[in-house]
Structure 1
Amino acid sequence: MIKIRLKRCGKNQPFNLEYSAIVYFLKLGAQLTETVHGIFLQK
């Protein structure tokens, strides 16, 4: 019920980024999406 209401009202659920995991995958050659790239630039 809550998830449906959040989607209907246009609110996003909070999320947590594990920076160490992201950096690990970047070292392996993964490419950032625009969203993750923007978040990295903000922090």
Structure 2
Amino acid sequence: MLRSAIVLIFAVLGFASTAAWSHSGGTDRNGCHMDHKTGIRHCH
């Protein structure tokens, strides 16, 4: 029972870490850049 709970926790954590998609693109000195698809400038 404990082993299956640990496996489940690691599976959920592994899925959650892949849910964050990064994107390429340079940022300016403020850490911002223009998203050309939406026309919106955003910062990280």
Could you state the TM-score of these two structures normalised by the residue count of structure 1?
0.28
Q: Which has the higher contact order (CA 8 A, sep 6+)?
A: 2
Larger radius of gyration, structure 1 or 2?
2
Q: Which has the higher helix share?
A: 1
Could you state the TM-score of these two structures normalised by the residue count of structure 2?
0.27
